[in-house]
Amino acid sequence: MRRPASLRLVATAAALVLAGSLAACSSDGGSGAAGAAVGPVTDGKLTVATGEPAYSPWVEDDDPSSGKGYEAAVAYAVAEKLGYDDSDVVWVRTTFDEAIAPGPKTFDLNLQQFSITDQRKKAVDFSPAYYETRQAVVTLPGTAAADATSIADLTGLAIGAQSGTTSFTAAETAIDPDGGVQAYNSNDDAKAALEAGQVDAIVLDVPTATYFVEGGVVLGQLPAADGASDQLGIVLPLGSSLTADVTTAVDDLTADGTLAELQKQWLADYDVKELS
């Protein structure tokens, strides 16, 4: 049975209103690609992500809410600059890869030693650098790499690193092992492979290399000229409404010496020789 014209008009109008509402919803909380700024996950709170688990010296005892560890302390320093109390900071966990992949995020800020790269900037926003480090080669006593003193000594060995990281890129470009770099989903997996004898050495950033592998031997750091230097930045959702303020906060913390003081407190003065 054909509906009266008046009912058809009401149905059409309702459909248009519904379509408009759905479009508005889809452009509000996504990745920022549609041009609308991405607001905080929760009003009045600052949602900060770290890894699962998170390691010293970046986060002590896998408890970022303690504020202990360099990245945990930086997060609270930035939060204060943004006007948040410590009690307003909510911690969540993400993997490394999901944090820098395109799409919506479950966090406002993410600190997991993310190197700032042009490729990653296509998917997420970055703060200015809050730390600059280098990449180092770590092994265990008794491995084929234990006596290595140069990059040439490493090229014929099995070298591993977490995929998608600048550690992996540095291993490829600076060492260029004959068998290619063995890719792992996480630093934990790379460490397990080293401990199991599946690889002779792994590549990690210098602070992580110093603490991460129990009984590990840091053979040296890779040359910065070979793409092995890292500027670490805070990751934000692409198009975040907080990016400008976080940029100002990190710049201020650099200028007033806060970051330098936190580095003295939580990071060692790493005296790691350079491999050549």
Domain ranges of the chain: 1-30, 38-276
Residues paired with residue 203 on neighbouring β-strands, in sequence order = 137
pLDDT computed for residue 23 by the predictor: 36
Helix (H, G, I), strand (E, B) or coil at 183: strand
Residue 65 one-letter amino acid: S
Residue ranges with strand state E in 5-88: 46-50
pLDDT computed for residue 183 by the predictor: 98
Helix (H, G, I), strand (E, B) or coil at 216: coil
pLDDT computed for residue 44 by the predictor: 97
User: Which structure tokens are listed for 174?
Assistant: 């600076």
Nearest CA to 179 out of 198, 192, 162 is that of 198
Mean pLDDT for the chain?
88
pLDDT computed for residue 226 by the predictor: 52
The backbone region for 202, taken as left when phi is positive above 0, alpha when psi lies in -120 to 50, beta otherwise, is beta
Eight-class DSSP state of 238: T
Nearest CA to 138 out of 226, 213, 52, 231 is that of 213
Nearest CA to 181 out of 196, 201, 152 is that of 201
Apex 214 CA angle, 92 and 163, nearest 5: 55
Q: Which residues of the chain have pLDDT under 70?
A: 1-35, 225-229
pLDDT computed for residue 163 by the predictor: 94
Residue 64 · residue 50 · CB < 8 Å: yes
CATH class belonging to 38-276: alpha beta
Helix (H, G, I), strand (E, B) or coil at 112: coil
Quote the pTM value.
Answer: 0.76
H helix runs in 126-198, sequence order: 166-170, 187-195
C-beta neighbour count of 219 within 10 angstroms = 24
